[in-house]
Structure formats: structure tokens, C-alpha cells
Structure 1
Amino acid sequence: MAFTPFTGVDNHKRSVTFCAALVAHEDADSCQWVLKRFLVAMGGKEPNYIITDQDPGILKAVPLVVKKARHRFCMWHIMNKVPTKYGVTREDYIVFIRKINTIIWDEDIKAAEFDARWEEIGEEHGLNNIDWFKEMFSKRNQWVMAHCGDLEMGVIMRTTQRSESENSFFKRFEGKSGTLLEFLLRFKSAMDQQRHTHKKLDNEDKHTSPKMETHLALEAGGAKMYTHKVFKEFQEEAKYSIDTCKSRGFAEIDSLEVTTVRDASEGQNYDVTSCLVKALNTEVLIFFLVEVTL
């Protein structure tokens, strides 16, 4: 029987198992049943999106069960097929791979720019004559980062790597043979360890404070809001901004504040829109929109 865990990410950026299933057949009917039971386990609440490979059974089952969540495809699985679909023996293969990777993995590229550059690469290297590339372009809102920016953490969550690493985690608790009862007991042990680790990290965050490395009030505020793991990444961005980012203008539009920031390393200006809101009697500055301006 195939073991099928549903894996997400917790606030410490660690993998977390929402639920799991055992299926005898990996076909469309089984996938449909598993997805229905997943929604029951989640109290009927759908995630913002689900990331899977392009298994035929999954492709058929998801639209029949999931009505709100966007079904996304694993970028790694798709990009892993590019060499064979294009042809590694072609003389322009190295140049093509360099170009296609540049637009696929660019976290800042906008959807319109991506489409224009894909079309340009397609004309130069004949992608319009390859059905697989035409199909992947038609489904770009399901896997290309430039077309997933409207989703929360859509750029960060892009592959099934966490699910695959979770499989390795569970293998530490399961041998190659055993009864179903033994499996369930070992699965419970694995879940107990996962939850224990989460509670341990929660406790460390509650009773310890990270070391400040700048004099920015923003850094101190981030230390109060984020878990230590997330704050470490936020802190690196704060330090980076001191040397590379400068304010180039400020404006107030209705209740919003728009600051134009120049990123010297990228040679671009960004309009950062923010607002000050009250949350539990505490003022919180929320940045909720970033746009690149020429």
C-alpha cells in the first residue's frame, strides 16, 4: 500500500504533517477518495493551493474535489524534464538552458515580462514546434513563479521537495516489512516526535530573545513578531537593506503611505505601500504591496 502524507510548513519553517492516507491503488478513484477524506480531516477548509507532480490520477481527481484551492505543479519535476523534451544534443542546448532558467527561477519577474521573454525564447529556439513546451506555457499559472505572485507564499512554495523529505523522515520509523498495526504505532511515534519538536521550538521562542545586529527599530519589531527561524532570514534582509537600499521619495495616498526605495544592487526602484493598523491595542506596520517601477 502506498503511504500518502499531506505535508505543509509550520511557523518555524519545518515540515508538518496535516494527515496521511494508505492506498492500495494510485489511480484517479483512489486520489479522489483521499482528497475527500483530507478535506474532512481539515474540517472542510481548503488550502490556498496544493502542489503535486503531474500524475494522471491526481490531475483527474483534484478538479473534481477541490473547488477553491489552486492546483499547482512541482517546478522541479517540470524543469527536470526540460533537457529531454528539448534535446541535450542540440547545439544551442547550453544557451537555451541558461535563458530558460533565468526567467523560470527569477522571483522578481512580472507575469507580462515572463510571457514576453518566453515568446522571445520560443521564437529563437523553436519551442512553438514542441507540444510539451506549448502545453507547459498554457498551464503557466500552475507552476511559474511569475504567475503565482497572487498566492500567499506562492513564490516560496514551489516544489514537492518537502513532501519527499517527509517520506525520508517517516522511513526512520518504518522497516521494509511489518503489519498494519505496527505501521500505525510507528506512525504515531513519528507524529509524536514531530509535535514534540514543534512545542520545543515554541518554548525556546517564548523564553529566549535573538541577538540584534542593527539599530533599526524594524529589526527589534521583527524579533517580537517572528519565530527565531523566520526572524533570522528577516534580519539578513534588514542588514542587506542598510548598505543597498535608500529612500528616494515618499507620498501619502488616502490612508496609505508609499515609499520609493532604490535597490542599488539590482539597479531598480521599488514602490513599497504600507499602512499602520491596530492589532490587540498594538500598532503594527504592515507592508502589503511591492511593485517595481522603472
Structure 2
Amino acid sequence: MQDALDALTDDVRSTHPEQILIVTGAGVSHASGIPTFRGNDPDAIWKRDVTELGTRAFFSENPAGSWQWYLSRFDKVSGAKPNPGHHAIAALERFQTERGGDFLLVTQNVDTLHEQAGSKRMVKVHGTSDRYRCSRSGCELGALEGSIAASEVDLTAFRANPVEANVPRCPSCGAFLRMHVLWFDEVYAGHDDYQWSRVLDAAKVQARLVIFAGTSFSVGVTELVTQSARARRVPVFNIDPTPRISKPGIMPIAAGAEVALVEVCKRLGLAEGAAWA
């Protein structure tokens, strides 16, 4: 692992002013106590049939069931704090941008831990847990650019009695609100907040170093970035305690981001004090 960390540190140092692209999955937040999606931990939340539950079709059939299922998972996010891996990614962004370089973080996670840690140049390609939107596409809060802060929605009645009559309603048109997440029967270009064009540009043109961290490589965005990086011969690193992909040109680092990226930051002289604890 030390040789891989040496190579990663050297590549981070030399990628200037070009773009460093980091792609994170649920494994990055595991050290914060949030269950992964497809990992081996006992609470991995996608062990149920996500192709049924995480869909627009399921919401249309059972909006109360969809809300109940997602809230039970989002409640696991509530109160979670960024771990050293999140802080290391934010520190790498500052390191790169302060010397005039380009940087982009693409996260598959819907939690807000990257933001809490200080990440700025970020795309939440699967949506976010702190916003909802109208389920009716013709509504101003359900269109490509529409959404509403979760803090503005009163869930008291639904939590007390999670039935369809208590599913939160859109304040603009009265239709059911939905989670502001990318469902499995939807497309990345389905909402402006997913910033898919920005991801395409990074993957196909801008990125000169790609770092995956805590991802199972089970979704379209990881396939896009992997194929594009290999086609352009861009260095690719995969940080994960149990790397789940083995392809030529991808260097595995068998450790969590809270270990590997913290070590890279230390080697770069980016001391963060308590954030590394």
C-alpha cells in the first residue's frame, strides 16, 4: 500500500493546473456511522430489493411506503458528523485550488457530510437528503430546477401516522412531495441539480487524475468515469478497504479514505489538527 500511496501523493502534487477528480460512494461515510449501500457491513441498506423500493414506480404505487422507507434511512444520516476522510477531501480541494488548479468532487452520497467538512466544488449526482421536490413535473418545485429545503416541510403528521393521507404535499400545487434523489428508473439528466453535463465534461475532457473512494462501482457514473479515464490514459486510484474492481490501469489502495487520504494530506503537509483524529 505504501508504494500506491507514494504514487498517489506524487500524482496529486504534479496535477497542476489540471483537474483532480474525486468520486466518492457510501464507503466514505461509513466511518461516520452511516451504513453503506452495497457493502458487507450488517446494516448495508440496499440489501433489500432496491430495484423495487428506490424507484418512481414504487412511489407512484405506494407514496407513503416510499416516504417511510427513505425517512428510515435518512434518519441514520441525522446527527452524523464528517470523518477524517471527508476532511481530507476538503483539504485536497483547498490545496489544489489555492495553487490555481482545478478540482471536482462527484459524490454518489445523499448525506451532507462533504458540505459539512468544507467541500465546495462538488456535484451530488444522486441528489441530496436535505431537500425534497414536487412529484409533478409541471410544478415550479418539480421542474428541472425546482426543489424545497427539507427544513421547510412539516413531517409531524406523517411521522405520527405514516399513511397516504399524511404524505407531505407540495406548497405550490398540492401534489405529493418526493425525495430529491435519483431513482433507479430515472436518468442522470432528470434534474439540473445532478449537474450531469459537468460530470460528463470532467470525465471526458478535464480530469487528469481520478480518485475513487468508497464506491462499489455499481452505477452509471462510475462506469463513465472509469471508461473515460482509461481511454484518455488518466491515472486512476481506487481507495477502498476491500477494492471491488480489478481492471488494468486502476491502482487499488486497500484502506478507507479516512486512512489513505489523510496519509496523502499529511505527506503534502496539509495538517488539519483535530480533523485527522
What TM-score range do you get, normalising by the shorter chain? under 0.3
Bigger radius of gyration, 1 or 2? 1
Output the TM-score relative to the length of structure 2.
Answer: 0.26
Q: More strand by proportion, 1 or 2? A: 1
Q: More helix by proportion, 1 or 2? A: 1
